[in-house]
Amino acid sequence: MSPRSRNRATTRRHPPAVVFAALGDETRLSLVVRLSDRQPHSISQLTHGSRLTRQAITKHLRVLEDAGIVQSNREGRESLFELHPEPIDEIRQYLDLVSEQWNQALARLKSFVED
């Protein structure tokens, strides 16, 4: 990764509450899906095909950006938005870890009560 594209989204840690809250909205989830091609998109592109206004989409993008899930770079007069999935991956990995611990504890409980 070039030093230029390393913005605050990559350096700051994001509280889980902010990431969960950012993903807990259908419009924002659909934006994440649209951005999952990992290409930079303009606000016009992201508004196209949506029933929401450009302003509304911009607001949702800023929420995602504050949670570190997307990052924007200015290109001339417009901002281009790109997915930055690390905060999502990190939370998912953490939940996988806790989940695996429960699998193991419950497997031990099973052999404990069934023998």
Binding-site ranges for another protein (CB under 8 A): 13-17, 20-21, 23, 88, 90-95, 97-99, 102-115
d(CA 2, CA 6): 7
Of 74 and 89, which CB lies nearer to another protein in the complex structure?
89
Count Cβ atoms below 10 Å from residue 83 Cβ, excluding itself. Answer: 21
Hey, what's the torsion of the CAs at 7, 44, 30, 87, to 10 degrees? 0
Of 2 and 17, which CB lies nearer to another protein in the complex structure?
17
Of 56 and 105, which CB lies nearer to another protein in the complex structure?
105
CB of residue 107 vs another protein: minimum separation in angstroms? Answer: 7
